[in-house]
């Protein structure tokens, strides 16, 4: 089966979060299952772009409203990722350093999708599945069916994976002329609340829709940033498939970013060596439990609760601990986290940064990872942490609920709480610091977590089953 993934991110070419990890791994595992999977994404100006060799796969042009664009599709030559990676280069529009957050993101991602369709339209054959990820590729299912110039693509089956339903790519109807001439009777398939909503459009038009965990799909039926009724209406084609881990990238036994490799057998020792390096670097005492947070400092991740929670926990809790935060996002949260440093020298540190290498070192060196998320479609941090023997301290939501069992329950290994609140976070930190004192229990939990198989193999097969359900 031939599958074309269309995405704004793909690790290691460009990553802002979990979307990149999934799109960088799933096609590789689909290849291993004997399918032909490839990825097309915008050509962001990243390190990976400059460090690798590319060849031109296609050149074309299109109009978007009154603008004319030439585009080039380049292909990575060395098969570095285990699948074919194609990037769309549109001079001045896509070739930028950041992936998102430009004023013209609507134009950028609409142009990206148009270029992808122009390219597929030239193929001599048809792929079996066009698999679009998130709203950045959300107009594709509609355009394949209802834009007259792409109607010969209408028979190709489409799948939408929602990695985050908070962001929907809203664009005003004044921009509808960006789409090539289409069947205007079908305007309702673009619209949600008087706005063009690419995510809603893909939910309506794709043959199948899935989220990255079953729990998150259930939650979207009740809370989906305005799309609840749509999810309920389309329930029949919706499902959840939990993400896996790419063990070629996330395995403490072979991870080249971490300073000392370790496995289940020498976990306590291996983690202690990695912890020492982290503690030396950030001025912590190795004897205290080290709690980390890695992620976007945004409301969804409940990052706004961190400063007060840490402050209160440092003040009130009987047992000492250290804490390291890596992330960037809302300026007020960044500032509050940095300010905390002055109050808790030797116990608390913040890195306002996006740093892949440090993140690996933190997963390896920490004792606990805190994820108080308000919304968590799957959450990869807890899966990586478990693989690295770091105990997840998570709010029961979305994929966190699906993947973490409290150590107080049978077969459990994590610390779970119900509310995204300062009280619950402080209480859970207290539980973590107490658990840390029971070395035997910690060893037992680490061993249990590290042996859980969260590999992509079974999830990749579930995607193939999903495709088969619409092909046959």
Interacting residues with ligand ADP (CB under 6 A): 17-19, 21, 164, 294-296, 326-328, 354-356, 359, 378-381
- The residue among 113 and 381 lying less far from ligand ADP, judged by its C-beta, is 381
Nearest residue to 127 via CA among 471, 459, 472: 471
Alpha carbon distances (Å) from 129 to 2, 28, 76: 7, 16, 21
| Torsion sign, CA atoms 97, 102, 106, 107 | negative
- The residue among 127 and 389 lying less far from ligand ADP, judged by its C-beta, is 389
List the strands of the sheet with 129-133, edge to edge.
54-64, 67-76, 84-89, 36-42, 2-6, 129-133, 157-162, 208-211, 238-240
- The residue among 127 and 295 lying less far from ligand ADP, judged by its C-beta, is 295
- The residue among 127 and 215 lying less far from ligand ADP, judged by its C-beta, is 215
Q: How far is the CB of 468 from ligand ADP (least distance, A)?
A: 26
Torsion of CA 255, 261, 267, 269, to 10 degrees: -150
Q: How far is the CB of 311 from ligand ADP (least distance, A)?
A: 22
Please give the structure tokens belonging to residue 199: 């995510």
Q: How far is the CB of 109 from ligand ADP (least distance, A)?
A: 17
Largest Cα separation within the chain, whole Å, is 69
Give the count of beta carbons closer than 10 Å to the beta carbon of residue 32. 14
CB 368 within 8 Å of CB 437: no
Please give the structure tokens belonging to residue 166: 């908070």
- The residue among 143 and 364 lying less far from ligand ADP, judged by its C-beta, is 364
Q: How far is the CB of 247 from ligand ADP (least distance, A)?
A: 14
Direct distance between the N- and C-terminal alpha carbons of the chain, in angstroms, rounded to an integer: 12
- The residue among 191 and 251 lying less far from ligand ADP, judged by its C-beta, is 251
Please give the structure tokens belonging to residue 447: 């061993």
CB 75 within 8 Å of CB 22: no
CB 202 within 8 Å of CB 175: no
- The residue among 25 and 153 lying less far from ligand ADP, judged by its C-beta, is 25
Tokens 């004192």 found at: 437
- The residue among 20 and 205 lying less far from ligand ADP, judged by its C-beta, is 20
* Preceding peptide of 292 cis, ω within 30°: no
Q: How far is the CB of 294 from ligand ADP (least distance, A)?
A: 5
- The residue among 292 and 432 lying less far from ligand ADP, judged by its C-beta, is 292
Nearest residue to 161 via CA among 43, 18, 33, 296: 18
Shortest Cβ contact with ligand ADP: which residue? 18
- The residue among 225 and 229 lying less far from ligand ADP, judged by its C-beta, is 225
Q: How far is the CB of 472 from ligand ADP (least distance, A)?
A: 32
Q: How far is the CB of 167 from ligand ADP (least distance, A)?
A: 10
Cα(54)–Cα(285) distance, integer angstroms: 47
- The residue among 90 and 258 lying less far from ligand ADP, judged by its C-beta, is 258
Q: Which neighbouring-strand residues pair with 37?
A: 3
Cα(271)–Cα(367) distance, integer angstroms: 8
Q: How far is the CB of 382 from ligand ADP (least distance, A)?
A: 8
Burial readout 390-422 (b: 16 or more C-beta within 10 A, e: otherwise): bbbbbbebbbbbbbbbbbeeeeebbbbbeebeb
Q: How far is the CB of 212 from ligand ADP (least distance, A)?
A: 8
Q: How far is the CB of 410 from ligand ADP (least distance, A)?
A: 26
Q: How far is the CB of 349 from ligand ADP (least distance, A)?
A: 14
Alpha carbon distances (Å) from 108 to 8, 16, 32: 10, 17, 33
């Amino acid at each position: 089966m031939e599958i074309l993934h269309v995405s704004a991110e793909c690790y290691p070419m460009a990553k802002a979060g979990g979307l990149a990890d999934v799109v960088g791994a799933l096609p590789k595992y689909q290849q291993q299952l004997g399918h032909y999977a490839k990825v097309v994404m915008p050509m962001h100006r990243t390190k990976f772009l400059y460090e690798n060799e590319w060849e031109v796969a296609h050149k074309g042009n299109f109009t978007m409203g009154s603008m004319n664009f030439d585009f080039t599709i380049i292909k990575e030559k060395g098969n570095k990722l285990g699948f074919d990676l194609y990037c769309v280069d549109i001079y001045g529009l896509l070739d930028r350093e950041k992936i998102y957050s430009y004023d013209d993101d609507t134009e950028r991602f609409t142009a990206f999708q148009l270029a992808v369709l122009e390219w597929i339209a030239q193929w001599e054959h048809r792929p079996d599945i066009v698999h679009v990820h998130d709203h950045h590729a959300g107009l594709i299912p509609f355009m394949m069916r209802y834009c007259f110039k792409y109607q010969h693509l209408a028979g190709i089956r489409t799948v939408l994976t929602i990695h985050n339903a908070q962001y929907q790519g809203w664009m005003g109807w004044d921009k509808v002329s960006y789409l090539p001439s289409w069947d205007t009777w079908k305007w309702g398939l673009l619209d949600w609340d008087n706005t063009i909503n690419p995510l809603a459009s893909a939910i309506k038009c794709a043959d199948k829709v899935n989220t990255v965990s079953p729990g998150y799909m259930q939650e979207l039926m009740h809370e989906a940033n305005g799309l609840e009724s749509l999810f309920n209406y389309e329930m029949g084609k919706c499902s959840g498939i939990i993400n896996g881990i790419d063990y070629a990238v996330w395995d403490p036994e072979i991870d080249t970013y971490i300073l000392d490799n370790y496995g289940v057998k020498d976990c306590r020792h291996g983690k202690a060596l990695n912890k020492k390096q982290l503690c030396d670097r950030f001025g912590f005492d190795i004897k205290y439990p080290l709690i980390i947070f890695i992620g976007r400092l945004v409301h969804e991740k409940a990052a706004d609760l961190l400063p007060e929670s840490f402050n209160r926990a440092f003040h009130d809790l009987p047992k000492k601990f250290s804490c390291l935060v890596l992330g960037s996002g809302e300026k007020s949260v960044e500032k509050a986290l940095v300010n905390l440093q002055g109050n808790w020298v030797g116990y608390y540190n913040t890195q306002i940064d996006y740093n892949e290498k440090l993140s690996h070192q933190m997963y390896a060196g920490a004792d606990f990872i805190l994820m108080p998320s308000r919304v968590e479609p799957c959450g990869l941090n807890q899966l990586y942490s478990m693989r690295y023997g770091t105990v997840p301290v998570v709010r029961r939501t979305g994929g966190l609920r699906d993947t973490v069992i409290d150590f107080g329950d049978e077969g459990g290994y994590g610390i779970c709480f119900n509310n995204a609140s300062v009280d619950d976070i402080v209480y859970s930190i207290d539980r973590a610091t107490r658990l840390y004192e029971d070395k035997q229990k910690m060893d037992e939990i680490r061993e249990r977590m590290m042996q859980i198989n969260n590999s992509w193999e079974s999830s990749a097969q579930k995607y193939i089953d999903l495709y088969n359900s619409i092909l046959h």
